[in-house]
Structure 1
């Protein structure tokens, strides 16, 4: 019996007449939210019933406009989108989805009774992640749903790892920038001290007086130290590990300055 409004009540979370052989979601993890879009109520009921054993959080709508509104308000984890629908077909819905959501953010699997290569290519070119031909082989559909959800999870994990690595590189670069600044300040102070020592020595030579007690003229070549710091900073900026020999050289040079 046709419904007057789209079915968006989560189902499949507690129904499991066939056991949980293909249960993709752990009891400790929120089930994946899947939106089914088809203008034929009988098709929606079949898909919902056959996917119920997988323990997904299932929602359904019967038009492209309703699908876009649901996606905007509730952001599903995956969309099963019928190809042929009145008013707004699957390709048109997909074009709107891809203007806001990338493939990695919202996977879409097309459901189509058209097996022609041109129709399949048009769906993939519009941004579909995969497609299933009708009549649906539900074991294949479940496997492809799980594959797409796994891809999204892997991409999210990879982005988190990359973000953490970027933060580590940034922190190390900042630390070495601070070290460079401290070294430059130390070098400036030592050069100033050397110039003052030169002045005192020249005054002593001109007057014949002895240099102040405890004052010795020292000359430290700071250029190698600057070069070592530059090499370390370049390595950090390029995301490369810092050569331990460079760090040992830096420590040795600092001890020389001390």
Structure 2
């Protein structure tokens, strides 16, 4: 074993830095989320309103959006609907945060496309665990989509090859039928002349 293997081992076990866009109109909530999630190894981009959040999403990639449900201007639900409507962000994981503790708000958030919903004030350890789970699930789904796309491409290639093979087989059968007819005609002529 190389003496550098032990040095590289801890680095290999570290998870990649996950970027979270936190969107909330409360500066105190944003600062708390930024501080607490940064301590847990996340890179937190803070944003105070929905329009700015949509601009940031268009400009840079994030792994997950933490989105306050009730904000002035563009509400969290409106921002979520915009995220889901865009081809570039349709599959982006979104966890909604809400001060409302009623089932109707949860149903509305989930129906709009939220991956999860947590009530404020949120336990940061629970939030961090849900962020990890949601990002991991999104990455597995993305990998499955890539695998499916590769399989679809292979199936399409095989279908083309099969179509070409069938065409060639049909041509060979036609050639074989003509040759059989020619041989039969020659045999008929030979039997008449003998």
Q: What TM-score do the two structures reach when normalised by structure 2?
A: 0.84
Q: Is contact 2:23–2:49 with CA below 8 Å preserved after alignment?
A: yes
How far apart are the structure 2 equivalents of 1:137 and 1:50? Answer: 10
Which is bigger in relative contact order (C-alpha 8 A, separation at least 6)?
2
Q: Of residues 64, 68, 75 in structure 1, which corresponds to 2:50?
A: 64
Q: 1:74 to 1:116 in 2, by over 3 A?
A: same
RMSD of the alignment, in Å?
2.3
After the TM superposition, which of the residue ranges 96-105 and 171-180 deviates more from structure 2?
96-105
Q: Is 1:132 paired with 2:142?
A: no
Q: Which has the larger radius of gyration?
A: 1
Partner of residue 75, structure 1: 61
Contact 2:95 2:116 in 1 (8 A): yes
Alpha-carbon distance change, 30 to 123 in structure 1, aligned in 2, over 3 angstroms: same
What is the number of residues matched between the two proteins? 184
CA distance in 2, matches of 1:93, 1:26: 37
Q: 1:146 aligns with which of 132, 151, 158?
A: 132
1:205 aligns with 2:191: yes
Provide closer, same or farther for how the CA distance between residues 101 and 182 of structure 1 changes in structure 2, counting only shifts above 3 A: closer
Matched, 1:93 2:79: yes
Richer in strand (by share): 2
Displacement after TM superposition at 1:104 (Å): 6.3
Deviation readout 1:145-204 (Å, 9 max, x if unpaired): 011101111111111221222233233333333332222222222221121112212222
Checking the alignment, whether the CA contact within 8 Å between 1:104 and 1:152 is kept in structure 2 is: no
Deviating more after overlay: 78-87 vs 28-37:
28-37
After the TM superposition, list the runs of 4 or more consecutive aligned residues in structure 1 that deviate by more than 3 angstroms.
25-30, 101-104
Please tell me whether the aligned partners of residues 79 and 107 of structure 1 are also in contact (alpha carbons under 8 angstroms): yes
CA drift at 1:102? 8.4
User: Mind listing any 5+ residue stretches in structure 1 that lack a counterpart?
Assistant: 1-24, 209-258
TM-score by length of 1: 0.65
Q: From 113, 116, 126, give the equivalent of 2:102.
A: 116
Choose which of 23, 27, 35 in structure 2 pairs with 1:49.
35
Q: Structure 2, unaligned stretches of length 5 or more?
A: 1-10
